[in-house]
Amino acid sequence: MVKQQANDGLFPMEVRLEDAPCPLGCENEDEFLFTGHDLLHGLPGEYALVRCKSCGLTRTNPRPTADTMGYYYPDNYGPYTGTIIKNVLPAKRRAPLLRRFVRKILELNMQRLPDMKPGSMLEIGCASGAFLQHMNNLGWKVAGIEFSPAAAENASAAGFDVHAGSLEDAPEPQNNYDLVVGWMVLEHLHKPVLALQKLNHWTQPGASLVLSVPNAGSADFHWFRQYNYALHLPNHLYHYTPDTVEKILRAGGWKLEKVHHQRLMSNWFGGLGQLLYFQGHDNRLVSWLRSYPRKAGKLHYLFFPLAVLLAAFGQTGRMTVWARRIDD
């Protein structure tokens, strides 16, 4: 593939691009799929998706370098603002019964964890610390890693041990972890295999790894293409299916145990809204569809039966994977 240059008028001068080979070491050629843009903030840049003809892993290539990718993570980036801790009181004093019920539904759906006794947990991409607080309230000793200095400061201000920076430059922990979690973060990592190997070395024998990622094997990915809600270019560098996430996990020292397809309609409604909007349709319905993933609230329950049906066939567009550390 021909390299694109940041000074060709399509890219901001703050961004440098790099060609990145398949992280699994495949030598076969890539198949070009399509190009897309940043639809979240409307920042400039046109990015291509390619699929490795050998292993099937789809990736964004060329892509911003690790030291210039921050351009596409402004301080108003959704995961940063949506996880700010507004109240640090213990959960029993803070949350009424209805809120605890909603929290339980969220755990069973998106942030689903294996049945484990509280121990030590690391969250990569902890944003402003909401999940750290949740697990801390359940008796876990928690720590986090967050790329955004502003978001990391929010989590640290709540009293949590958070490294502000990348996983690659994070220091060795004093004690190894029993559990590592990452909610929609694996697809953002420039070197996922090396990152997973590092996490393997930081965990106890038999430790668990829980990650949520968009599912590029879902029909919405193929139907909506560059308008797919979870495509999120160029922040998402890799676009996993259940098959390719298993391969990347194994290369990083982890054995895939379960794939839970999340029971949400966010990708479908958001993707349809973006497709219609960029085809020139702008009305209340389109606006509602585009905002659904961010503002659905109780509507998630209205469409829950449909989401359950799609999840049974692996077609909701988002998945949570459980993996077990492969011990040396």
For the chain, what is the domain count?
2
Residues 82 and 43 in one domain: no
Express each pLDDT in 15-42 by its tens digit.
999 999 999 999 879 999 999 999 988 8
Domain membership of residue 150 as a residue range: 78-325
Percent of the chain, pLDDT > 70?
A: 86
Residues 24 and 145 in one domain: no
Q: What is the rounded average pLDDT of the residues 285-300?
A: 89
Q: Is residue 8 part of a domain?
A: no
Residues 203 and 241 in one domain: yes
Residues 112 and 203 in one domain: yes
User: Quick one: tokens of 303?
Assistant: 């469409």
Q: Is residue 112 part of a domain?
A: yes
Looking at the whole model, is its pTM more than 0.85?
yes
Residues 252 and 312 in one domain: yes
Tell me the one-letter amino acid at 304: F
pLDDT(85) > 80: no
Express each pLDDT in 216-275 by its tens digit.
999 999 999 999 999 999 999 999 999 999 999 999 999 999 999 999 999 999 999 999
Q: Which residue has the higher pLDDT, 109 or 194?
A: 194
Residues 152 and 300 in one domain: yes
- Report the CATH number at residue 101: 3.40.50.150
For the four alpha carbons of 130, 133, 135 and 138, in that order, the dihedral sign comes to: negative
Q: Is residue 191 part of a domain?
A: yes
pLDDT(98) > 90: no
Residues 215 and 232 in one domain: yes
Residues 129 and 269 in one domain: yes
Q: Is residue 7 part of a domain?
A: no
Please tell me the distance from the alpha carbon of residue 243 to that of residue 258, in angstroms, as a whole number. Answer: 12
Tell me the one-letter amino acid at 299: L
- pLDDT at position 280, please? 94
Residues 35 and 171 in one domain: no
Residues 65 and 82 in one domain: no
User: Quick one: tokens of 190?
Assistant: 């420039």
Do the Cβ atoms of 241 and 217 come closer than 8 Å?
Answer: yes
Residues 153 and 249 in one domain: yes
Q: Is residue 12 part of a domain?
A: no
Residues 39 and 147 in one domain: no
